[in-house]
Amino acid sequence: MITSTGLKQLGFTPEVDYVLQNNSDGAGTFIAEWLSDSAQPTVSAIEAAEVVWQTEYDAKAYARSRALEYPSIADQLDDIYHNGIDAWKATIKVTKDKYPKG
């Protein structure tokens, strides 16, 4: 399957290097225009790049989850100022323990 994510992983830019289209006819997404001076990648190369992107994305799920739960930087600095670095570390550790690195 052709995906914009796969093409981006290969270093191509939408609307600069390619235009994708899906006619909703069940045939799926296809490259409507290839604008790059580089050779158009094969569907299998695009699919392989999509797998690489997905693997990298999945490996960083913990970081995305942590970012949603960490206090704002301003609140963290305020915590350090009022309670010290050890109290701040304890606050942050709760989230780190909840979402450990894979």
Domain count, the chain: 2
Q: Does pLDDT of 102 surpass 90?
A: no
Q: Are 55 and 8 members of one domain? A: yes
C-alpha span between 52 and 40 (Å, rounded) = 19
Domain hosting residue 86, numbered range: 61-98
Closest CA to 20 of 6, 10, 37, 9: 6
Residue-wise pLDDT tens digits, 18-73? 999 999 999 999 999 999 999 999 999 999 999 999 999 999 999 999 999 999 99
Residue 90: what pLDDT?
96
Q: Any idea what the CATH number is for the domain that residue 26 is in?
A: 3.30.56
Q: Are 41 and 76 members of one domain? A: no
Q: Are 43 and 10 members of one domain? A: yes
Q: Are 50 and 8 members of one domain? A: yes
Q: Are 75 and 54 members of one domain? A: no
Residue-wise pLDDT tens digits, 62-81? 999 999 999 999 999 999 99
